[in-house]
C-alpha cells in the first residue's frame, strides 16, 4: 500500500472520550447490565480521562462479569448436565 501503511488504524480508539460520550456508551448497556452497576460505573468514571479503547475494555469486563453471574444462565447450565 502507498504511504507505508499496511493496516487500517483506528485513531478514534486513542482519543479521550468526553463525559457525554461515556453516558451514551453506558446507555447502550441498559438492559444488559443492571442500572445500579451502570450508575456505579458512571460515578467511577467521572472526572477521569479515558480513551475509547479503555472504555470498551472496562465495559466488556463489566458485561462479562454480569453475564457470568446471571441466575437464569446458571440454572440453564445446571439443567443441561
- Examine the pLDDT at 40 and tell me if it is beyond 90: yes
Query: How far apart (Å, rounded) are the C-alpha atoms in residues 38 and 16?
Result: 20
Q: Name which residue leads in pLDDT, 76 or 40.
A: 40
- Provide the pLDDT confidence category of residue 13 given band limits of 50, 70 and 90: confident
Cβ neighbors of 32 (< 8 A, separation 6 or more) are 63, 66, 67
Mean pLDDT of 30-42: 93
pTM: 0.68
Query: How far apart (Å, rounded) are the C-alpha atoms in residues 72 and 74?
Result: 5
Place of cell 479503547: 53
C-alpha cell, 21:
460520550
- Provide the pLDDT confidence category of residue 80 given band limits of 50, 70 and 90: confident
Residue ranges per domain, the chain? 16-79
Helix residue ranges per DSSP H, the chain: 19-28, 35-45, 52-68, 71-79
Amino acid at each position: 500500500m502507498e504511504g507505508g501503511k499496511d493496516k487500517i488504524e483506528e485513531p478514534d480508539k486513542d482519543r479521550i472520550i468526553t463525559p457525554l460520550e461515556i453516558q451514551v456508551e453506558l446507555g447502550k448497556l441498559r438492559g444488559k447490565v443492571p442500572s445500579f452497576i451502570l450508575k456505579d460505573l458512571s460515578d467511577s468514571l467521572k472526572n477521569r480521562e479515558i480513551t475509547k479503547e479503555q472504555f470498551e475494555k472496562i465495559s466488556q469486563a463489566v458485561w462479562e462479569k454480569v453475564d457470568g453471574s446471571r441466575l437464569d444462565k446458571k440454572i440453564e447450565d445446571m439443567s443441561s448436565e
